[in-house]
Structure 1
């Protein structure tokens, strides 16, 4: 009896003789034993298997599941062809580092100029407010030309004597009309005109803010209580404020068509700043006037000039 007569269930002995296997034949796992109907026989090893068909990709979250990566030739990556292979994009800097070399040099020069200007201004201001010393005495003219009039330093907003009064400068004129008649105008409040020009103006001019105020302070500091000049600067302060009021009257055409301003009179109106409502302090707010004598105007000033 041949050992291959029983197929895979034949038992091989030592002499090659077939010995029947006492174990029963196992059912096909593809078809349960208790399944009714015809059983599918196992494939015959003598029949060649059919060639495998094309794979059908199964879509998944990352693409086809069973499709192998396609090989790339070296020429596709630029290898061996002399072409440069692009690398990852370079990261761009931020701020000044993102500028070109020319613009970076320009920014550095501008920054250096600004820093130098700030240092010069701080140095001039320090020498101006510092006690008198050798450097400030030797370069007094240069320091004053830098500080005045835009960067003037004073203590009127601070202790020991803060300004607590509202001072207004007013003027009236005696004019000669084109018919030869003389008349006197009303009082023009020049300080109120400057205040209206400054109110709501983000960049008011230095003239609107300080010209009239500084002129009146100059006059008061060089005159006594009887309005008599003290020293040579007293006469200079009179000429200064007289020319200012002459220009202001010419701007508003106080003399009228064909008229001429013969004389001007200046006065100040001083009133204390009222205390806040919660304060118990009692201060009189009644204005006090200081009226100067009449001044005749030279011919050039009478026509609005300052020659």
Structure 2
């Protein structure tokens, strides 16, 4: 290269087409793929368990529909279905799901009715003793008082059992109709279970017989009313009921406490 060419190269710089002068182009990196969110609930189950859950839900839905339908037919006016299948409807409803409309009657219930029970207990030495009267309705009342969400059992089980008994027995406590024996068994089992829950106040024993009575007192009228009603309570005392062997097994009665 002569001096002229060297000077020209110095003034103009390297060749524009030279590959050494071109900047390198870097392709942007691909963003990472997001990880799939974990499945929750039924979707997290295997196919076999999903099928089982679907079948269980279907069974529950069918049972609810049948129950709602039975209750509707029970409270509906007499019709072709109730005339043909009335016994099946009654078997489904009574005694646990019986409907009661006294709150909306022309003359709503204006009495306080409490159900009480006492027991005849066989002691370990072969003797017998009779407990005092336990006010089961008062026990339910104490459980409900101040309870924002009382259970259906606390509110209705004992009350409805007594209503069921009264509706299927005459004034002499004799059963009327086919449901009389059922109502007696239902009430007896309830009071028998309630006796188990009473705290022992003395020596225990095996409950052999129970007796139920009701105490009815009129609700006092308001102060501004001039209505005159009797404040005397009346009692309806049922005969002693012997307990079947399967109901007395392991039964321990409470002591002598209770309502008198």
Q: TM-score if structure 1 supplies the norm length?
A: 0.52
Q: Secondary structure at the match of 1:271?
A: strand
- Change in Cα spacing, 1:253 to 1:296, as seen in structure 2 (3 Å) is farther
- Which of residues 162, 172, 178 in structure 2 aligns to 1:216? 162
Which structure has more helix as a fraction of its residues? Answer: 2
Per-residue CA shift, 1:129-166, capped at 9, x if unaligned?
A: 4433457778976899699957x653211232311111
Count of residue pairs brought into register by the alignment: 187
Q: Following the alignment from structure 1 to structure 2, what is the Cα–Cα distance between the partners of residues 155 and 248?
A: 26
- Change in Cα spacing, 1:137 to 1:171, as seen in structure 2 (3 Å) is same
Q: Following the alignment from structure 1 to structure 2, what is the Cα–Cα distance between the partners of residues 147 and 295?
A: 22
Structure 1: runs of 5+ lacking an equivalent: 1-115
State the partner residue of 1:107: none
State the partner residue of 2:141: 195
State the partner residue of 1:166: 112
State the partner residue of 2:232: 286
Question: Is 1:247–1:304's contact at 8 Å kept on the other side of the alignment?
Answer: no
User: Which gives a bigger RCO, structure 1 or 2 (Cα 8 Å, sep 6+)?
Assistant: 2
Question: Is 2:95–2:183's contact at 8 Å kept on the other side of the alignment?
Answer: no
Question: Is 1:223–1:230's contact at 8 Å kept on the other side of the alignment?
Answer: yes
- Change in Cα spacing, 1:256 to 1:154, as seen in structure 2 (3 Å) is same
State the partner residue of 1:269: 215
State the partner residue of 1:157: 103
Structure 2: runs of 5+ lacking an equivalent: 1-60, 252-260
The structure with the larger Rg is 1
Per-residue CA shift, 1:14-48, capped at 9, x if unaligned?
A: xxxxxxxxxxxxxxxxxxxxxxxxxxxxxxxxxxx
- Change in Cα spacing, 1:203 to 1:144, as seen in structure 2 (3 Å) is farther
Q: Secondary structure at the match of 1:267?
A: strand
Q: Secondary structure at the match of 1:225?
A: coil
Q: Which moved more, 1:177-186 or 1:163-172?
A: 177-186
1:186 equivalenced with 2:132 (yes/no): yes
How far did residue 212 of structure 1 move? Answer: 0.8
Q: Secondary structure at the match of 2:179?
A: helix
Question: Is 1:125–1:147's contact at 8 Å kept on the other side of the alignment?
Answer: no
CA RMSD between the two structures: 3.3
How far did residue 231 of structure 1 move? Answer: 2.9
Q: TM-score if structure 2 supplies the norm length?
A: 0.61
Q: Following the alignment from structure 1 to structure 2, what is the Cα–Cα distance between the partners of residues 177 and 253?
A: 17
- Change in Cα spacing, 1:246 to 1:278, as seen in structure 2 (3 Å) is same
1:31-70 mapped onto 2 (5 Å cutoff) = none
1:97-108 mapped onto 2 (5 Å cutoff) = none
